[in-house]
Amino acid sequence: MNHQTNKYQPLAGLVVAITGSGQGIGRAMALRLSGEGAKLAIVDINQTAAIAVSQALLATGAEAIAVSADVTSKADCERMVSAVVESYGRIDMMICNAGIIQVKPFLDICEDDWDSVFAVNTKGVFLTTQAAARQMRTQIALEPGRPKGKIVTLSSIAGRYGAGPMAPVIPHYRASKAAVISITQSAAYTFAPDITVNAICPGLVDTDMWKLIDQQWGALENWEAGQAWKQRVNAVPLGRPQTVDDVAGLAAFLASKDSDYMTGQSINIEGGLTMS
């Protein structure tokens, strides 16, 4: 998208930081929000990936910086927010997107497996939310009556009620994403009315993460490559896998004025897999 010719920019001037935006869903959200006029901070533990995405945005005429940060580190999260404020003067939206997954049978999961998944998916969201909220509370809203800032967390339908065929091999991932919903609700109540906090719960998104799931789950079940993915997609009522752009569209809505009265919500976007 060419920012110099795109006149429709409802997010013009909005400062957005996205963790884990060097690839996948995070990268797609960065592209979508910058295309609507937002100023982006591309945050990733992989500095090379962060720089590549930021340079791609700069090439379109957008404003973007790259920040290397490990979300499991409180100091890194605080440094990341400081870097965004140093560049742009404020931070209007923090998207806590960084996450990892591991496919492993329930009884084979060791302490290190559990701790590594929770460190990124849960502790990382908590520390990022803390750092962003501290800054947002000191700001003046962009417009009277609007929130001083917005925080969006990335959970998953795996973190919702019920279970499914993958539950026996991702219990630590499921638990970490359920915790993200709980943190989202606690933060929403804590920081109201100044800051809104909502969670996005995607389903089967066609990313490198799902390629890893397919590989690991398929190996456990002695399936051919792609069989795990095909089996899950066949269960989607809308008849197709989810794209990163599907998730990015919801992020754009949450960034917009139209979502200003929403907080504490965990929003499913998954093609009808878990209707509620």
What pLDDT is recorded for position 95? 98
| Residues marked as catalytic | 173
Rounded Cα distance, 61 and 188, in Å: 34
Q: Is 20 helix (H, G, I), strand (E, B) or coil?
A: coil
What pLDDT is recorded for position 2? 41
Contact assessment for residue 16 and residue 41, using Cβ atoms and an 8 Å cutoff? yes
Q: Which residue type does 128 have?
A: T
Sign of CA dihedral 58, 37, 269, 134: positive
CA-nearest of 93, 91, 96, 97 to 33 is 93
What pLDDT is recorded for position 206? 86
pLDDT in tens, the chain (276 residues): 444 445 679 999 999 999 999 999 999 999 999 999 999 999 999 999 999 999 999 999 999 999 999 999 999 999 999 999 999 999 999 999 999 999 999 999 999 999 999 999 999 999 999 999 999 999 999 999 999 999 999 999 999 988 888 999 999 999 999 999 999 999 999 999 999 999 999 998 988 888 888 888 888 889 998 888 888 889 999 999 999 999 999 999 999 999 999 999 999 999 999 888
Contact assessment for residue 86 and residue 140, using Cβ atoms and an 8 Å cutoff? no
Q: Which CATH class is domain 15-204+243-269?
A: alpha beta
- Residue boundaries of the structural domains of the chain: 15-204+243-269
The phi, psi pair for 94, rounded to 5°, reads -115, 125
**DSSP letters along 53-89, please?**
HHHHHHHTT--EEEEE--TT-HHHHHHHHHHHHHHHS
Distances (CA, A) of 245 to 24, 150, 248, 250, 263: 10, 20, 5, 9, 23
| pTM score of the predicted model | 0.94
Contact assessment for residue 236 and residue 271, using Cβ atoms and an 8 Å cutoff? yes
Rounded Cα distance, 241 and 53, in Å: 24
C-alpha dihedral (244, 249, 255, 260), degrees to nearest 10: -130
